[in-house]
Amino acid sequence: MFSPEQYRALREGAGLMDRSDRGRLLLTGEDRRTYLQGLLTNDIAALTAGTGCYAALLTPQGRMIADMRVLELGDAIAIDLEGCVRETVRDRLDQFIFSEDAQVIDITDARAQLGVYGRSAAAVVAQALRTITQLEDRAPSSAEIEAMSLHANARWDLDGSPMVLVRSDDLGVAGFEVFADSQRAEVIRQALHAAGASDVDRETAEVCRIEAGRPLFGVDMDEDTIPLEAGIEDRAISLTKGCYVGQEIIIRVLHRGHGRVAKRLAGFTFDPHGNVPARGDVVRSGERQIGVVTSATQSAALGRPIAIGYVHRDFAEPSTAVVVVSGGKEQTASVTSLPFGDGRIDGPEGPSLQILSHL
């Protein structure tokens, strides 16, 4: 159930989420980067120790198998992805290793994953690190942690096992994630609580994700999705790297088709007194079915129902009036560019007064 207090924590404080339901893979070996370079959509070969990127694994037909974060740790690459595709990706990566010096290890059960998001996340993480690593003066300051670039990672030793901190925007909110031995998860959680983090549930986090227009694999993207349809190309696809599986389709659409795909992910904004639609609700223009809702929520930022989903490209222009059929009833909506609120939901000064007025 949505919690205004938890939402405030995610926006202006430090919201703590257990993300251990995600999948975690580890690639070792000297050829790990060059091996992944030929499989994933982003420039893996360009990664150096302490850096990372967002990428996708595609079929030869350019359809998505999974999206993921790829983190170069210095002696291995960690892959963080949705738990529902962990085994599929693990098997696919392992399947194509022949003479390469690369090994795929599933570390999902062995590693915990805790996310801290919000304006105070860096300060909370810095304080927790001082406590759990006992580094004191050698621990990074909150300013140093805040300065980490997206997907950057740093590693410490925690009682003989690695603990990795990663800069994240996975929920559409700036924050950090801690990966550590599962047996140390409770110690880390307690340190984060003591430093000021408060627990956040998935329902509340979903509001932030949808307000940010972030598609989720298994919900807003699946094995029939082309990355260009979901609008993730700017984050996930390198246009300067060499060949990768599915590249021919992507390049054909971008260059010959001028980026035109049959459908596009878009936002839908409803009347403040409207109803929150359900996943799978049909989007129409007149008598024509032009799309479908994939995620929806009551927006705390905008004080009205919002949704994301796919519409035919001819109806993807912002402010286009459409009808969404929910439970047999029609309600009007306006196609909206993503993220909602023109990106003002979580600006440099933190949440706007408009957000707080609806809580």
Q: Is the pTM of this model over 0.85?
A: yes
Residue 344's pLDDT is: 42
Fold for the domain defined by 213-345? Gyrase A; domain 2 (3.30.1360)
What is the CA angle 225-231-233, rounded to 5? Answer: 95
CA distance 318 to 307: 14
Could you read off the pLDDT tens digit of each residue along the chain, which spans 359 residues?
A: 899 999 999 999 999 999 999 999 999 999 999 999 999 999 999 999 999 999 999 999 999 999 999 999 999 999 999 999 999 999 999 999 999 999 999 999 999 999 999 999 999 999 999 998 876 556 789 999 999 999 999 998 877 888 999 999 999 999 999 999 999 999 999 999 999 999 999 999 999 999 999 999 999 999 999 999 999 999 999 999 989 999 999 999 988 777 789 999 999 999 999 999 999 999 999 999 999 999 999 999 999 999 999 999 999 999 999 999 998 899 999 999 999 975 444 433 344 434 444 45
Q: What is the pLDDT of residue 353?
A: 34
What the block records as the tokens of 107 is: 């570390």
Tokens 């956040």, residue located? 200
Is 115 strand, coil or helix? strand
Domain boundaries, the chain: 1-20+111-212, 213-345
CA–CA dist 307, 285 (Å, integer) = 17
Q: What is 1-20+111-212's CATH number, 3.30.1360.120, 3.40.50.300, 3.90.960.10, 3.40.50.1820?
A: 3.30.1360.120
Q: Assess whether the region 1-20+111-212 and the region 213-345 belong to the same CATH fold.
A: yes
CA-based Rg of the chain, rounded to a whole angstrom?
Answer: 21
**d(C-alpha 337, C-alpha 316), whole Å:** 9
Question: Alpha helix (H) ranges present in 67-177?
Answer: 86-95, 121-133, 142-146
Q: In whole angstroms, what is the distance from residue 166 CA to residue 150 CA?
A: 8
